[in-house]
């Protein structure tokens, strides 16, 4: 698949890049269908928030244009954007006038089994807990060792995703998804102000749900509440929505609100 660095074909990046040195940057994973980048506004909005919090002075209009041109060439696939602070000498303080670097990488659309969406998935209960860092919480930054460690906890094909909790055992998210539960008709997802990644699909579902008669709550979720939930699902901006049918010994069936939001996600992703 093709890759660009700053809009030009490339296969490599300078060794001085701060993305490599310190994970000093952000990324977005964008579904592309028929040459169109799905949920692009949401991806760019999260990127803008990340740039603001990390004080990365990027031209986001240029980034948006570049993603669209890249998607055009990709056709169908996944476009991964990595935006780093740029190249700099050794040391945490970047050189004056450092220029952000844009990396775009194309990959095929993943071929998940259809039963993930139809009958739901089983989540591996990860032991790796998410640390709390309010300054970075919600961002899709390049410091992702917690996810690497969590994903390494299971190798079997039985688990399509893992459940990640915080240090207090609260339910936060999946390794590469956000998690929702339905409790007494209310759509609940974790508050991500201390840890977690605020997914673009999560944001879109929270936006659409109230208009469909589903009240939403963004708050802490105790593990015990998950046990009592009527429906549980995970979502991201590549696969959409997967019902969760099990976490360890807990079981659920795909429910009606999950199905409604699954349809919304399909529309948003043009599938």
The residue from 11, 97, 114, 157 that contacts a second copy (CB under 8 A) is: 11
- For residue 225, what are the CA distances in angstroms to 165, 182, 219, 232? 13, 10, 12, 11
Residue with smaller CB distance to a second copy, 55 or 249: 55
202, 42 in Cβ contact below 8 A? no
99 binds a second copy (CB under 8 A): no
185 binds a second copy (CB under 8 A): no
Nearest to 158, CA basis, from 200, 115, 197:
115
The residue from 30, 31, 39, 54 that contacts a second copy (CB under 8 A) is: 54
Cα separation, 201 vs 213, in Å, equals 18
First to last CA, the chain: 22
By rule CB under 8 A, what string of x and - marks binding of each residue 212-251 to a second copy?
----------------------------------------
Sheet with 101-107, edge to edge strand ranges = 8-9, 3-5, 101-107, 77-84, 25-33, 36-37
Residue 269, number of CB atoms within 10 A of its CB: 18
27 binds a second copy (CB under 8 A): yes
Residue with smaller CB distance to a second copy, 167 or 248: 167
* Contact footprint for a second copy (CB under 8 A): 3, 5, 10-24, 27, 29, 54-55, 78, 80, 82, 84-85, 89-93, 103, 105, 107, 128-129, 131-133, 135-136, 141-152, 167, 175-176
């Amino acid at each position: 698949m093709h890759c660009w660095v700053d809009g030009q074909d490339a296969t490599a990046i300078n060794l001085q890049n701060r993305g490599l040195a310190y994970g000093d940057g952000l990324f977005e994973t964008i579904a592309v269908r028929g040459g169109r980048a799905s949920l692009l506004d949401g991806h760019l909005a999260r990127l803008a928030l990340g740039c603001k919090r990390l004080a990365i002075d990027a031209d986001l209009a240029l980034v948006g244009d570049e993603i669209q041109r890249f998607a055009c060439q990709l056709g169908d696939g996944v476009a991964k954007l990595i935006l780093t602070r740029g190249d700099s000498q050794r040391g945490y303080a970047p050189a004056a006038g450092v220029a952000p670097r844009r990396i775009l990488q194309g990959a095929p659309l993943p071929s998940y089994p259809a039963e993930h969406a139809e009958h739901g998935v089983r989540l591996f209960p990860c032991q790796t807990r998410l640390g709390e860092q309010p300054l970075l919480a919600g961002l899709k930054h390049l410091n992702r060792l917690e996810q690497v460690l969590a994903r390494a906890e299971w190798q079997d094909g039985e688990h399509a995703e893992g459940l990640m909790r915080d240090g207090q055992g609260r339910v936060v998210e999946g390794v590469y998804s956000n998690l929702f539960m339905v409790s007494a008709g209310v759509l609940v997802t974790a508050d991500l102000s201390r840890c977690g990644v605020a997914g673009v699909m999560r944001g879109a579902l929270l936006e659409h749900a109230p208009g469909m008669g589903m009240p939403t709550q963004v708050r802490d979720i105790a593990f015990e509440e998950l046990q009592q939930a009527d429906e549980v699902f995970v979502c991201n901006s590549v696969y959409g929505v997967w019902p969760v049918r099990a976490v360890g010994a807990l079981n659920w069936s795909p429910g009606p609100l999950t199905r409604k939001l699954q349809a919304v996600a399909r529309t948003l992703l043009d599938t």
